[in-house]
Amino acid sequence: MKLKTIVPLPSEDYLYNLGVITYSIGYLEWGLLGDLVKYDDILPDKLKMSYLVAQSTGQIADLLMNEKYLSLVCDDKLRKRMREFGNALKNIVKTRNSVMHAHPTTFPDGEQGLYRWTKKEQMMIDDSLMEKLNDSIQEAIKKDSKMRII
């Protein structure tokens, strides 16, 4: 089923790519956060899933790279996974935020799409940006999957 809208939409490929990116970011984040509940008894409060789920992606990255908190994690493999995961999120978060917080626009070629405009940046969310972001997300998912402790 497709939702009905009166909004002029980008191409189906563009919308599909946005959907893949949005879903993959959630999949990536939950890949770690969903596992952390198993470690509630050994994690400091600010690294527990129940705390992290209420944070932004950037805040999660910062907390997972915070050596003060990581030093309290007694499991070496888990600490390494959390640190690497935080680094991966940190590398993705700026572009992810640009895509997720962009506004609809009409590109110079007449196609619909998204445009990010802030005091610090102005950019079209085009296919090449989405492809680069998706490649980074997929690589982070692969890397984290190899580090999972089951």
Q: Is the confidence at residue 62, as pLDDT, over 60?
A: yes
Contact 99, 129 (CB under 8 A): yes
What pTM, to 2 d.p., does this model score?
A: 0.89
pLDDT at 150: 57
Per-residue pLDDT band at 121 (split at 50, 70, 90): confident
Q: At what angle do helices 76-100 and 57-64 cross, to 10 degrees?
A: 160
Q: Is the confidence at residue 41, as pLDDT, over 60?
A: yes
CB atoms inside a 10 Å sphere around CB 70: 18
Q: Is the confidence at residue 147, as pLDDT, over 90?
A: no
Residues 6+ apart with CB under 8 A from 140: 28, 85, 88, 89, 91, 92
